[in-house]
Amino acid sequence: MTEGQNVLRIGIGGPVGSGKTALIEALVPMLIERGRAPAVITNDIYTQEDAEHVRRTLAGVLDPAKVVGVETGSCPHTAVRDDPTMNLAVGAEMLEAHPDVDTLIFESGGDNLTLTFSPVLVDLFLFVLDTAEGEKMPRKRGPGITECDLLVINKIDIAKYVRCDLGVMSSDADRVRSGKPVVLTDCLSGTGVGEVLDYFESRRADLLPSA
Ligand SMILES: Nc1nc2c(ncn2[C@@H]2O[C@H](COP(=O)(O)OP(=O)(O)O)[C@@H](O)[C@H]2O)c(=O)[nH]1
Ligand SMILES: [Mg+2]
């Protein structure tokens, strides 16, 4: 699995429970509607829980064979950053079995603020925070937040219940990211997910000009 195959490879990282799987489940139908052919590779430390969730939620929308769960058995950083061998192999198998796939999404096992993805594995990566983790999160920085290509602040629908000031959270995010993009989402209703998709398509045009 290398560049030049006209496949956009996207990593999605962020703390456990922030909504990475929900974002994927919202994105995939929109990608398909736009004529894209996505496939999903999830990472869990001990189980295939997320892969099963994605297959169930997207039944009838995405071929279940286009969702694979990697059981990393180790620190989630290792599997997507330090030694992405397992994920590279699963990605290559996916593309061999489904040559139509043009968008490969890797969900990390969920981790702390230092998670980043190996550029060998993905072309760009997103980091997902959510309002229930607290308005303070962007101020804590960490390479996941500051270095990701697109920062997603999810669960905006419940911000008011968890006393999170979205204005503060998003302006802190803008500040620590020196203006790199930030998108606010509610992945259960789909609010903001179209902006994530637009971001992918603009990057696809830069990274894979013939795709
Ligand atoms: N209210 C609300 N709940 C969400 C949203 N996104 C995800 N959730 C819920 O948050 C929980 C964790 O989401 P999940 O996608 O599994 O998180 P992950 O561990 O980052 O993959 C689930 O119960 C989701 O239904 C959102 O935008 N709003
Ligand atoms: Mg998940």
> What is the predicted pLDDT for the residue at 74?
78
> What is the predicted pLDDT for the residue at 110?
78
Closest atom, ligand 1, to C-alpha of 107: 21
- Structural domains of the chain sorted by starting position, each given as residue range(s) with its CATH number in brackets: 8-205 (3.40.50.300)
For residues 1 and 51, which has the higher predicted lDDT (pLDDT)? 51
The pLDDT tens digits for 94-136 are: 999 999 999 999 999 877 888 899 999 999 999 999 999 999 9
**Strand, helix or coil for residue 104:** strand
Distance 210 CA to ligand 2 centre (A): 32
18 pocket-lining for ligand 1 (C-beta < 6 Å): yes
155 pocket-lining for ligand 1 (C-beta < 6 Å): yes
- Spell out the residues 6+ positions from residue 143 whose beta carbon is closer than 8 angstroms to its own: 113, 114, 115, 116
Dihedrals φ, ψ of 97, to 5°?
-75, -30
pLDDT beyond 80 at 3: no
140 annotated ligand-binding residue: no
